[in-house]
Structure 1
Amino acid sequence: MLAPDIARIVNQGELVVAMLSTDTPPFFYAEGGNLAGTDVDLARLVGSELGVPVRFDRSAKTYDGVVEAVAEGRADLGISRLARTLKRGQMVHFSNTYMKLSHALLINRVNFAAIAGEQPLPQVIRNFNGTLGVIAGSSWEEFGRRNFPKAKLVAYPTWADVVNAVKKGDVVAAYRDELEVLQILKKDPGLALTLRTVTFSDMESTLSLMVGVRDPTLLSFVNEVIAQRADKPTVNSLLKTLK
């Protein structure tokens, strides 16, 4: 007695999981010819509980591309450090949150000073009207439009491109989650002379798995796997793995 969406996966003999093609440690990355990372572990846990192996489809070139693969039925699940957005909510179901990350900015000190003048930092940030670098096809485009409506968004193919743009002064700031932003200065403390970070305690990126709208039992099953998961990664635990 299996629900139709679960029976489909069992009968096909595998759980197809859409995942971004670009490695993003510590969430998902290739290591010694195999996939590793916290998102990979979670996807495999779902497959294990279903009693089938997981096949990762990494053909998606953008984060939104991962979501579209699920919406179109080319994958059973999507996971790639995916945040909930209103746009995605029109195509797929979100699982319960498996991790929360605060929003953050990586700021070019010189360019920021030029637009700030004598204004206090909080005021300038909340009314930010400079150029803001984001990853194309990611949740940060939507977050940027909503949270910084006066800013001029500049989309780049990868996070590395966004960071380079901030370093060179092509944009005033880069917008992403605290984990990625804090890593930049952690890896190269000398950059603190030209760059600074700002973390928001009142804005969070809630990470979820993406499930097709025709798969309600699978959604419920994934939520239960998340709830019963013994190992629940946190920002601090992930930062330690990146040392």
Structure 2
Amino acid sequence: MNRLRQLLPLLAALCLGLSACGGAWAQGGPGGQKTRAAGADAAAEPDRSPLVKVADGRMLAPDIARIVNRGELVVSQLATDNPPFFSVKNGELVGTDIDLAKLIASELGVKLRFDRNYKTFDSVVEAVAQGKVDIAVSRLGRTLKRAQMVHFSISYIKLGHAMLINRMRFAQLAGDRPLPQVVRDYTGTLGVLAGSSWEEFGRRNFPKAKLVKYPTWPDLIEAAKKGEVTAVYRDEMEVVQLMREEPGLALTLRTVTFSDLEAPLSVIVGIRDLTLLSFVNELIAQRAVQPTADSVLRALK
């Protein structure tokens, strides 16, 4: 015990000495240790910039660099033509959506390729969500279902909502009630385009309706003409365009438009591609001419 008591002061002095040495090391001890330690830390510290240097020397966000390094913007689009937004004329894709996609690719300085291997609008969106393509430009509306897996750009055109109604079937449904009352509390059959935003719009805006899905727009028109459904639901532009092209349909069908309902069309961007989304938004906002449903219909006429 006496021996241990004699050693305690020596142990304490040793501990103090080690602490002092450690402090000196940390604070810049003898022999330039601080300089060597700092140099080692600096060499080990990684580059904190998230930007990627591309072949021409520019520093770009990773999602933009991916497209620039590939040299190509890949855009998903519905296989079925949807004029005036996109359609093949004289062997070339033309339309308002085509023009927008071309502008995006041009500003990125890359080529443009369309992937049109999709039979429904929802599958066009899913191609972006799954990383098969960079963006989608394909007459696509915003829905809560899609909002869970992709980003929407700001709107590049807004379309009103409309119904195409079979006159005879609707008269049977309405009875003596005025048309606005019947439409707002609609309980009849309502045809919608399968795999499109109009499925969700139909469920939300006409919860008492009996939704019937059809694969194509011509199928919907035939269903309305034959009375298979009392009404079909789509955007005003499509309905107005149909009645202009086939005025004789007015004997069988009538249209109802909704001034308080709109379907904004957006470019679809992947959930991780936030800089690409910002770029597309800015490009849309800066366009010299902002198309409207009326301007596009006038051009068609």
TM-score (norm 2): 0.80
Question: Partner amino acid for 1:22?
Answer: T
Distance 1:95 1:184 in 2: 28
Distance 1:194 1:141 in 2: 24
Distance 1:141 1:93 in 2: 20
Identity of aligned residues (%): 69
5 Å matches for 1:1-243? 1-243=59-301
**Offset, 1:102:** 0.7
Give the alignment's Cα RMSD to 1 decimal: 0.7
Greater relative CO (CA pairs within 8 A, separation 6+): 1
Structure having the higher Rg: 2
Distance 1:231 1:22 in 2: 27
Distance 1:217 1:110 in 2: 52
Question: Partner amino acid for 2:130?
Answer: E
Question: Partner amino acid for 1:191?
Answer: L
Length, aligned pairs only: 243
Distance 1:184 1:174 in 2: 13
* Structure 1 SS opposite 2:207: coil
Q: Is the 8 A contact 1:20 1:62 kept in 2?
A: yes
Distance 2:184 2:63 in 1: 45
Distance 1:9 1:134 in 2: 36
Distance 1:242 1:166 in 2: 24
Greater alpha carbon shift after TM alignment, 227-236 vs 82-91: 227-236
**Offset, 1:94:** 0.3
* Structure 2 SS opposite 1:82: coil
* Structure 1 SS opposite 2:110: coil
Larger proportion of helix = 2
Structure 1 gap segments, 5+ residues each:
none
Q: Is the 8 A contact 1:26 1:241 kept in 2?
A: no
* Structure 2 SS opposite 1:100: strand
TM-score (norm 1): 0.98
Question: Partner amino acid for 2:225?
Answer: K
Question: Partner amino acid for 2:228?
Answer: D
Distance 2:286 2:189 in 1: 42
Q: Is the 8 A contact 1:94 1:208 kept in 2?
A: yes
**Offset, 1:5:** 0.2
Question: Partner amino acid for 1:165?
Answer: A
Question: Partner amino acid for 2:165?
Answer: I
* Structure 1 SS opposite 2:84: coil
